[in-house]
Chains A and B, each alone.
Chain A
Amino acid sequence: MTQSSFSVVIRLAAIIAVSVGAAAASGQPGPIFERTLANGLRVIVKEDRRAPTVVHMVWYRAGSIDEMDGTSGVAHVLEHMMFKGTGKVGPGEFSKRVAALGGRENAFTSLDYTAYFQLVPEHALPQVMALEADRMANLRLDAKEFAQEIKVIMEERRMRTDDNPQALVNERMQSVAFQEHPYRRPVIGWMSDLEHMSYRDAQDWYRRWYAPNNAYVVVVGDVDHAAVFRLAEKYYGAIERRALPERRPLAEPKQLGIKRLEVEAAAKLPYLEMAWKVPKLQDVDSDREPYALEMLSALLDGQDAARLSKDLVRGQKVAQSVGAGYDSMLRGEAQFVLDGQPAEGKTVADLEAALRSEIARIQEEGVSEGELARAKTQTLAAQIYKRDSMMGQAMEIGAAEAVGLSWRDIDTMQDKLRSVTAAEVQAVARKYFKDDTLTVAVLDPQPLAAAAAKPPMKGPLR
């Protein structure tokens, strides 16, 4: 894979996609326990006592999918502002206190959710819980801190997207692939929206979504679940439940034909991204196609021996790099993405044709039992390897819960994944890889000197 930001997105997605199949595959999975507090906050605990450490995460079901035009990026902006203090804890003090406990902490915002986490020695769990509970209810937002932080976020956008050609392609592709669905807006937000955002936008967001009944706590590590439930009751229990805004269904109008776009940016290698609209996982027990699509993704790009690298990088030498990605667990609409950079002397057209022929071959000839078995072995091994990371286990639980599934579904999903047949893989390849739902984005690389001569890309602040 390339070291592009796109592959980072894929790699992070893989954490979650792998997490589709959770714990119990083999070995002894740590037991998982759940309790719901009276205010609606759910607390999920997985005991893993291999080391004297613990992961504490708070997830809010509010991501960029919940944003409106004009305030894109506000979910992520609020995430930053959550470190700016409460009545009891001054700006920046949250991080200082966690650091003093020997801890590490951070937060992330996605299309579907916003999550905060601390990794700490096990004895520090009460303190970090107290801190998270405090900012769940008592965040202080003011214009002065906001004015400083929004500049940081604009720098973040420049770094992640504006100066990163492949990320730029991905951003612009999503804004074309979706014309109505909120996934058309980037998580980081459009620069113009960031420039015109006020602390009141962040405040509105906080009041709307940051309620215990829109959140859940995930704790994994060297803990006793009963003790964690007592702590949760003590720190989170007093926060009042609030009415949540209505969430309306957000269906994208049916796409009626292929969409294509080009992005010009300073780079040497071209880049191609192809995204088809496909189904997501909705019913863990009765769905079949999402599991077949997950297996298809693994067959194409799950390991060194998978088809895309074997055929296109090593075999035909048409690609410098190539990848496939599909995440079945989303609140919004799912896509199956193929991407890559053409090899020296090849064009994006050559690469697109080669990727299409890989899909066509599966549509026509299917996949062998041998490669399907290999892909299943990899998913089985991944279940064991994943348990080496406490953060990985917490992410797995949190990601399932974020889309309305339960940690209880994780084992079922794993079993279902391993029940996928070659015929089902062929069937989804035939059914969903049609141009009607396809968007194709291409990076047209510009020489540095030429790019330098162009007017600045961004608005008034430049």
Chain B
Amino acid sequence: MINKVVSNADEAIKDIANGHTLMLGGFGLCGIPENCIAALVKKGVKDLTCISNNAGVDGFGIGLMLETRQVKKMISSYVGENAEFERQLLSGELEVELIPQGTLATRCLAAGYGIPAIFTPAGVGTEVADGKETRNFSGKDYLMEYAFDADFALVKAWKGDTAGNLIFRSTSRNFNPIMAMAGKVTIAEVEELVQAGELDPDHIHTPGVYVHRIFQGEAYEKRIEQRTVRKKD
């Protein structure tokens, strides 16, 4: 049986180097690879290009890597919740490419499915279309968007097994399964790591073939960005 297990986050990211392109799963702070981010901050690699739907918040998520100036470029759909991000952007220290969320997701999907490019109507007639090839299908215009090419994908799952199979929980699934498929090297951190055979093959969201390294995260803070509740009547 193929064994994908590494001992911890430091070992999992040991060959991530300056200038690499990383995908990081998560939506807001939900389902982010907390332990990998902490290890990257500790390692201090710089000039990273990060593909992630959002850029964390001050003091958490990718926000931690911004504070240490490790990120050269962010490729995201929405980056609104982070003052340090804004400061670096306005001062020119940080480059940002904003792309539609569905385009971001589908460019991951294309990479994982071995498809070089996709056609999407998102952004037709807007500045997103600048410099891009447009094709007309059945009377409607579509932009050609390329599959992502990322050196590493860092994803977070709920459960995983020693063979690298992953199961996600609730909306922390978001970008994680498609980024897992898209990385040249995919590192999965999980809340609970079990022996191969303990997960029902019918319940696997991401087959282990896409996962190169897996470890159980030491702890998960799972910070909530917008705590909204209702009162019991």
Are A and B subunits of one complex?
no
